Structure 1
């Protein structure tokens, strides 16, 4: 007897790329859970181009196979999620490291109204040898900590491969990533989107396959971190960068007119030089914050925006960046020319180093800021080049 798709409550989705060794046991555990619990569900295998007969194995064990031609972990999962018939989806890797026979806690939280339920392997237990020490003690804890700090997320294990969610709520997030960073995108966008997020303890067993996993530690770790930086909040780069820039910039200009005494503390050209460096770093941080937000929007990531940022984005362009940058650079160049002219009129003799530096340092600062602004405007121009995209 077949089950109507409207009656399906839970879809268990597994991405698959040559998982013939472990796929059957994963499907059997998942179907066993559905039979034991009485949950009306299905098992969906999102196949990403297997060449080892995984598709036939999946069908033989009662799973529905969805062919996903677009390569990548995220692509495979999104293909499976879109094809799923259940109101809820629980996704997990088909390497027999997750226990598909024990999904009660996930279903309980989903039925209670949570829209994303993450497994936490550190709370549930990690079998000996199931996770490389690099991942267990550095990669996962550090990236999860960064995610919690940046996005005020309650999740302690950002990269757990076993997670459940309300299918429509996740589809409404318009997820974009195609690779391993998909794991972070789900958590970050769910948190920023105000979804009800929770976590339950789950276990991690040793990978049942004889071949190496698809995961590449440093490459995929960097992709996760890069994604987190794209969504970084204003207080991480924009606000500290703006404060650093204005403190450094104003300090550099004030010290151009002579030393400043603050009680027993004397500030002179050496302080001016370090303030210039602070200003440059702060300005670069501000540019990074602005450009990453524009890049994210350009690439289709739906990130939190403000009316002030939207107004700023409409006003900046390659042309405006070039004009502002050129103006800053010319100010510095004029100061340099004036100094050079004065040196030449004196027969290129010895200079008062301290007095010369007082104005040479601001000149250099203006030229650096001008060059940074011009280059950022050019990068923005590159982003705005119209391209045909397959989406």
Structure 2
């Protein structure tokens, strides 16, 4: 990785292209970038982040005057990250080496970077997708749907989450902490930049059919799922909280309806089977909500989320203790129900009991026991995560500050 001390500040822009056997199109891309540099008086460099090419791509890049950065770890994200960390420029523009992007549009992105935007996204749908440039499923299903989820989950007003032609401030990039190695790197960059409150702009760019005779590296379903999985994992609200709350409320409504006695709605008779279904939904919803709270607290620990009123409430020591005692009380209440049922069974000489009546008696106590047990476990786990976060904060404080009587540690 190039440090700030080692950088050549005469280089304003580094164009990084990931490369894995791109001999057919690589030379044309490098020449187009260099012509754009010259025509627009841009002090720049071309970096080829080679991911293990065996078709002569490295030799072509060297011959065309590009700088080759070998990246041993396979994957689109790994190649881009390796190229960026070796770049000399203040700004980075990344693009594919398959001749699908028009590098003459570099000045459009660079202008926005010079204005202070930390991430500038290209939008192929606004700039124009030429015939044959994007498969039908990608154009009308994959990209629109995944971009929609990105906007919904993270409130990011970007129309094309997966455009491969984009620019960013190198210094800002290094603070985003990108981790993924595959194609989902494209989504991670947008999400992490937004979570770090980066200033994001979007400009129209064009997409042309690539110039390769072989199939692209992109795998439609596998990479699409990895993009969606990443978007969900980093959004506890949509992965846990909203589904969990919906299950909890709907299950509770079902339980309230049929707990006193069976009901008839049109042709549908709802009885104890509906009661059991409602209890299952309540438990599942409560577990999902608990995981949503825990994952949000853990994300704060990792630095990918900011604290809010909910997390501050649930990490309060008094609230945690209250939840533990409340959980113990619910477990105790549920245990009384089991004892009552055993007594009823004993009075029947351990014979058969009325299933409908006993299920109606047992289900509320079973629910109390399960939710109480879950509440105790979650409370202790929050304590563990919160304790690690406090210790992490305390480690940041310098020894001199610790020895000062006037120093204050905020946890």
Q: Place the TM-score, normalised by the shorter chain, in its bin.
A: 0.7 to 0.9
- Alpha-carbon offset, residue 187 of structure 1: 0.7
Matching residue of 1:216: 219
Relative to structure 1, is the Cα distance of residues 213 and 277 closer, same or farther in structure 2, using a 3 angstrom cutoff? same
Provide the TM-score with structure 2 as the length reference: 0.77
Residue 267 of structure 1: how far off its partner (Å): 9.0
Residue aligning to 1:303: 305
Residue 93 of structure 1: how far off its partner (Å)? 1.0
Q: Is the 8 A contact 2:143 2:161 kept in 1?
A: yes
- Asked if 2 retains the 8 angstrom alpha-carbon contact of 1:22 and 1:209, the reply is yes
Q: Which segments of 5 or more consecutive residues in structure 2 lack a partner in the other structure?
A: 1-6, 264-268, 318-322, 387-411
Q: What is residue 5 of structure 1 aligned with on the other side? A: 8
Is 1:228 matched up with 2:240? no
Residues 140 and 379 of structure 1, relative CA distance in 2, 3 Å threshold = farther
Asked if 1:17 is matched to 2:20, the reply is yes
Which residue does the alignment assign to 1:172? Answer: 175
In the other structure, the counterpart of 1:76 is 79
Distance of 2:276 and 2:252 partners within structure 1: 11
Structure 1 residue 105 and structure 2 residue 108: aligned?
Answer: yes
1:357 alignment counterpart: 359
Does the Cα contact within 8 Å between 1:253 and 1:362 map onto a contact in 2? no
Structure 1: distance between partners of 2:376 and 2:314: 17
- Greater shift, 303-312 or 180-189, is seen at 303-312
Q: Any conservation in 1 of the 2:262–2:272 contact (CA below 8 Å)? A: no
Between 1:325-334 and 1:67-76, the stretch displaced more is 325-334
Matched, 1:149 2:152: yes
What's the offset of the Cα at 1:331? 5.7
How far apart in 2 are the matches of 1:18 and 1:131?
21
Distance of 2:74 and 2:374 partners within structure 1:
37
Structure 1 residues 176-187: aligned runs within 5 Å: 176-187=179-190
Q: Report the Cα distance in structure 1 between the residues aligned to 2:307 and 2:380, rounded to whole angstroms.
A: 23
- Using the TM superposition, give the Cα deviation of residue 49 of structure 1 relative to its aligned residue in structure 2, in angstroms: 2.0
* Counterparts of 1:139 and 1:362, CA distance in 2: 44
> CA 1:224/1:292 → structure 2, altered by over 3 Å: closer, same or farther?
farther
How far apart, in 1, do the equivalents of 2:227 and 2:335 lie? Answer: 42
- The structural deviation recorded for 1:43 is 0.6
User: Which of 75, 95, 98 is residue 98 of structure 2 equivalent to?
Assistant: 95
CA distance in 2, matches of 1:15, 1:305: 36
CA shift in 2, pair 1:179/1:301, >3 Å: farther
Instruction: Point out where structure 1 has 5 or more consecutive residues left out of the alignment.
Output: 316-320, 385-391
Kindly tell me: are residues 331 and 254 of structure 1, through their superposed partners in 2, closer, same or farther at Cα, counting changes over 3 Å?
Answer: farther
Q: Could you tell me the TM-score, scaled by structure 1's length?
A: 0.81
Structure 1 residue aligned with 2:291:
288
Please tell me whether the aligned partners of residues 230 and 296 of structure 1 are also in contact (alpha carbons under 8 angstroms).
no
The CA deviation at 1:161 is 0.6
Q: CA deviation at 1:332?
A: 4.6
2:98 aligned counterpart, secondary structure:
coil
What is the alpha-carbon distance in structure 2 between the residues aligned to residue 378 and residue 17 of structure 1? 48
Tell me how many residue pairs correspond in the alignment. Answer: 373
Change (3 A) 1:185 1:143: same
Q: Is residue 161 of structure 2 the alignment partner of residue 162 of structure 1?
A: no
Matches of 1:326 and 1:206 in 2, distance apart? 63
> Aligned Cα RMSD in Å?
3.8
Matched residue SS, 2:74: coil
1:345 positional shift: 2.5
Pick from 64, 68, 75 the counterpart of residue 65 of structure 1: 68
Kindly state the Cα deviation for residue 151 of structure 1 after the two structures are TM-superposed: 0.8
Choose 244-253 or 154-163, whichever is displaced more: 244-253
CA contact (8 A) 2:279 2:363 kept: yes
Q: How far, CA to CA, are the matches of 1:326 and 1:73 in structure 2?
A: 50
For the Cα contact (< 8 Å) 1:21–1:208, is it kept in 2?
Answer: yes
Measured at CA, do residues 25 and 313 of structure 1 come closer, stay the same or move farther in structure 2, by a change above 3 Å?
A: farther
Distance 1:199 1:154 in 2: 9
Runs of 4 or more off by more than 6 Å in structure 1? Answer: 321-330, 370-381
Taking the aligned partners of 1:294 and 1:49, their CA distance within structure 2 comes to 39
- Once residues 149 and 24 of structure 1 are traced to their aligned partners in structure 2, the CA distance between those partners, rounded to angstroms, is 40
Decide whether the 8 Å contact of 2:232 with 2:239 is kept in 1. no
